[in-house]
């Protein structure tokens, strides 16, 4: 039975929401069930900052400065933290950040990525069949599955189709409402994105705007007005600039002070591309999780799978006549694919492309290639359904080509198993000896060889390919959606244990976090090397370096974190921190201090009461930074730079009251402008919503 081709309304229905929510829950069941946690970078590189923002807000402070990461850094300049994302503030303020809320936020981004692609396809007037398939393909694509641990890569990817949709609304029907919606969507993308994706987004969206201009000019010759077109863009970008002013000022403030604030001098330092061998992921995504020597890149960069359904239409569409939209997405997809591949291409292109030299991981650009190829193929699938062109000779050839490719790969798999005697079949006794389900599953996964996966997944994909062909020939498009969903759910579930989830549960992570004191408490005046309270080997395996969470200032050794101040290199130049035998506050003459007490502590401000019997220097082991201030006994004093890295101040004999505080006035002002502009936009849209709902 064929689904309806037209609908009176292209708004998202409750049924559509339920479909995508169900698929997101099923495809990412190891996460949505909370049985397993997001492994690797998620809790060591992305969660700590969100956790601190939450703890600071709930301690009645403001997270301008994070004192816990490698002797402190400005939180607003941490491009991994989502500091400017409204979703971060919503969760941090109302629910607090825990392993559970962090996981739910990630699942939310995956869910809205699918809804966004669905809605974008509906704006192209695609059938619901095509829109569902495209949305599912995007939500469960290899990029999403491969980068589960890279939180702000997923959160950024989720808004790419929404930005395209918002831009359609703006240009096709200009209004204040559409202007605000479009600007907000672009802001949500920028405030959620890793810097590399912001750079990629500049290229992608600029190209789309230019294409949209010339396409409109060509197809609407009588009604099109260049002046009106650019005026609409100008209004949107003006509002976007206001929304982004806080982020722009904050990032500009920190860039001169971080180790990654300069472009990469050697193109060879740009690493982890989408290797040529990884093209096998278009057919067999799970194969990419084994055989590192073959793929020669990080496991997260190898997968560009977006389903067999759209792949079946991508190959013929490359040969057939294409409309203007298809031409744009084809060339754009190829451009970003080349950027992702790296290799010789990076030596040719990267030196001549502005900003690209700041991106260290070539494979990061793959999301723009996948987005383009999904839309390119969706146009072809939609034409097939609407025009009922039938299964052409080219499509038959494509089907047999893919079928032959799978058969060859299966044969290679069988040959590899027999030659190497390595894999599940030859180790089945070791696997079945495990007494419990979790160890059994882990043993099963560990013993699967590259050749095992070639055989197993190849057979599965052959089955799906046959089912897709049958549905297309019989025009059973509801079945087509179900087959596509089942195929992508299975592919996601098979890949997640390798790319996204660890063995421990989300509850295990929260138990590890519970060993830290709540909020932003007053740190203990113990030597830095003793800052191990609550630390266990198991906790560090789950959540990364314990110094990010123990609510003590300073660490004995440098902790890996994506944002690193220039002074951090000096602090840990001899592997151990400079003054690890001292507390985070100490005087240069210990015998001069008769007593010392921390009166209050708020992360970016500390009050100290002490009695000294002579002139001395008080050292506060926090990285020097332009916005630190100091008040001694009510008198402002400019902080002294101690040992080239820490804040310090001179004190006199007798009783002293010392306040160190961090306040970036320019960033605060810009942040307030962005904040109030965002709230004004939301309030305006809510007023419109309630007006429409009223009788």
Pair of tokens at residue 674: 């962005």
The chain-wide mean pLDDT, for the chain, equals: 91
Q: What mean pLDDT comes out for the span 136-150?
A: 96
Q: What is the pLDDT of residue 604?
A: 94
Please indicate whether residue 694 or residue 585 has the higher confidence score (pLDDT).
585
Lowest mean pLDDT among 17-26, 262-271, 467-476: 262-271
- Neighbour-count burial of 158, counting CB atoms closer than 10 A to its CB (0-12 exposed, 13-18 middle, 19+ buried): buried
Lowest mean pLDDT among 6-10, 226-230, 422-426: 6-10
How far is it, in rounded angstroms, from Cα 271 to Cα 343? Answer: 9
Owner of token pair 């050839």: 397
pTM: 0.94
Q: What is the pLDDT of residue 345?
A: 77
Q: What mean pLDDT comes out for the span 581-595?
A: 89
Cα 586–chain centre separation: 40
Q: What mean pLDDT comes out for the span 450-454?
A: 92
Q: What is the pLDDT of residue 9?
A: 56
Q: Is the pLDDT of residue 1 over 50?
A: no
Residue 605: strand pairing partners: 661
Q: Is the pLDDT of residue 268 over 90?
A: no
Residue 394 backbone phi and psi in degrees, to 5: -65, -40
Report strand pairing: 616-623 vs 585-587. antiparallel
Which residue from 683, 677, 684 is spatially nearest to 242, judged by alpha carbons? 677
Q: What is the pLDDT of residue 573?
A: 87
Q: pLDDT-derived band of residue 249, with 50, 70 and 90 as boundaries? A: very high
Q: What is the pLDDT of residue 264?
A: 72
Residues 291-311 pLDDT 10s? 888 998 999 999 999 999 999
Q: What is the pLDDT of residue 394?
A: 85
Range list of β-strands (E), 638-688: 640-642, 646-651, 654-662
Q: What is the pLDDT of residue 440?
A: 61
- The angle at the Cα of 326, spanning 321 to 328, to the nearest 5 degrees, equals 125
Q: What mean pLDDT comes out for the span 460-467?
A: 96
Helices (H), 544-632: 566-571
Residues 636-687 pLDDT 10s? 999 999 999 999 999 999 999 999 999 999 999 999 999 999 999 999 999 9
Task: Specify whether the CB–CB gap between 498 and 556 falls below 8 A.
Answer: no
| Order of all β-strands in the sheet with 646-651 | 585-587, 616-623, 646-651, 640-642
Please indicate whether residue 348 or residue 446 has the higher confidence score (pLDDT).
348
Q: What is the pLDDT of residue 11?
A: 78
Residues 346-372 pLDDT 10s? 778 777 888 888 888 889 999 999 999
Q: What is the pLDDT of residue 261?
A: 72
Q: pLDDT-derived band of residue 532, with 50, 70 and 90 as boundaries? A: confident
Lowest mean pLDDT among 208-222, 251-265, 668-682: 251-265
- Neighbour-count burial of 440, counting CB atoms closer than 10 A to its CB (0-12 exposed, 13-18 middle, 19+ buried): middle
Q: What is the pLDDT of residue 5?
A: 45
Q: What mean pLDDT comes out for the span 228-251?
A: 96
Task: Specify whether the CB–CB gap between 316 and 390 falls below 8 A.
Answer: no
Exposure string over 130-149, b if 16+ CB within 10 A, otherwise e: bbbbbbbbbbbbbbbbbbbb
How far is it, in rounded angstroms, from Cα 578 to Cα 567? Answer: 11
């Amino acid at each position: 039975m064929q689904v309806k081709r037209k609908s009176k309304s292209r708004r998202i229905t409750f049924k559509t929401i339920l479909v995508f929510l169900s698929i997101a829950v099923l495809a990412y069941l190891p996460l949505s069930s909370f049985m397993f946690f997001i492994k690797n970078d998620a809790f060591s590189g992305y969660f700590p900052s969100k956790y601190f923002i939450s703890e600071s807000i709930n301690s009645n402070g403001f997270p301008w400065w994070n004192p816990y990461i490698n002797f402190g850094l400005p939180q607003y300049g941490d491009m991994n933290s989502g500091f400017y994302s409204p979703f971060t503030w919503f969760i941090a303020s109302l629910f607090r950040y825990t392993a559970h809320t962090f996981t739910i936020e990630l699942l939310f981004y995956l869910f809205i990525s699918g809804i966004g692609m669905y809605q974008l396809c509906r704006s192209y007037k695609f059938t619901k069949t095509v829109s569902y398939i495209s949305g599912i393909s995007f939500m469960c694509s290899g990029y999403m599955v491969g980068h589960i641990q890279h939180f702000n890569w997923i959160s950024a990817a989720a808004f790419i189709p929404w930005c395209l949709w918002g831009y359609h609304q703006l240009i096709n029907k200009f209004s204040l409402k559409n202007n605000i919606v479009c600007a907000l969507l672009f802001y949500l993308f920028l405030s959620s994105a890793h810097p590399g994706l912001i750079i990629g987004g500049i290229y992608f969206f600029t190209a789309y705007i230019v294409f949209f201009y010339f396409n409109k000019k060509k197809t609407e010759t009588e009604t099109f007005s260049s002046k009106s077109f650019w005026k609409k863009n100008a209004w949107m970008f003006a509002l976007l600039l206001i929304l982004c002013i806080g982020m722009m000022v904050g990032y500009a403030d920190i860039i001169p002070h971080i180790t990654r604030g300069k472009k990469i001098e050697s193109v060879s330092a740009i690493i982890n591309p989408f290797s040529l061998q990884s093209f096998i992921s278009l057919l067999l995504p799970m194969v990419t999780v084994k055989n590192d020597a073959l793929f020669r890149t990080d496991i997260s960069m190898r997968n560009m799978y977006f389903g067999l359904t759209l792949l079946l239409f991508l190959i013929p569409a490359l040969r057939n006549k294409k409309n203007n939209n298809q031409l744009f997405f084809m060339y754009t997809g190829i451009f970003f694919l080349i950027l992702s591949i790296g290799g010789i291409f990076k030596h040719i292109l990267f030196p001549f492309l502005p900003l690209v030299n700041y991106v260290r991981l070539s494979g990061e650009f793959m999301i723009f290639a996948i987005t383009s190829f999904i839309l390119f193929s969706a146009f072809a699938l939609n034409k097939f359904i609407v025009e009922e062109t039938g299964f052409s000779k080219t499509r038959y050839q494509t089907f047999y080509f893919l079928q032959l490719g799978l058969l060859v790969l299966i044969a290679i798999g069988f040959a590899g198993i027999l030659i190497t005697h390595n894999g599940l079949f030859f180790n089945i006794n070791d696997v079945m000896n495990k007494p419990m389900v979790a160890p059994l599953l882990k043993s099963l996964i560990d013993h699967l060889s590259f050749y095992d996966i070639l055989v197993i997944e190849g057979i599965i994909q052959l089955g799906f390919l046959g089912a897709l062909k049958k549905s297309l020939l019989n025009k059973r498009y509801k079945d087509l959606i179900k087959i596509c969903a089942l195929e992508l759910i299975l592919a996601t579930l098979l890949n997640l244990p390798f790319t996204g989830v660890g063995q421990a549960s989300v509850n295990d992570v929260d138990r590890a976090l519970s060993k830290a004191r709540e909020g932003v408490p007053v740190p203990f005046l113990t030597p830095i090397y003793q800052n191990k309270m609550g630390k266990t080997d198991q906790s560090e395996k789950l959540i990364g370096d314990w110094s990010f969470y123990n609510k003590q200032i300073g660490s004995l050794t440098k902790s890996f974190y994506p944002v690193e101040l220039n002074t951090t290199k000096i602090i840990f130049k001899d592997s151990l921190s400079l003054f690890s035998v001292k507390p985070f506050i100490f005087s240069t003459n210990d015998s001069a201090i008769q007593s010392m007490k921390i009166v209050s502590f708020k992360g970016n401000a500390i009050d100290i009461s002490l009695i000294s019997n002579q002139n001395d220097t008080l050292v506060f082991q926090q990285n020097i930074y332009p916005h630190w201030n100091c008040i001694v006994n009510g008198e402002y004093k400019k902080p002294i730079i101690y040992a080239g890295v820490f804040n310090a101040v001179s004190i006199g004999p007798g009783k002293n009251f010392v306040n160190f505080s961090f306040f970036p006035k320019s960033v605060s002002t810009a942040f307030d402008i962005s904040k109030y502009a965002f709230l004004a936009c939301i309030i305006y849209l809510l007023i419109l919503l309630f007006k429409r709902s009223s009788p």
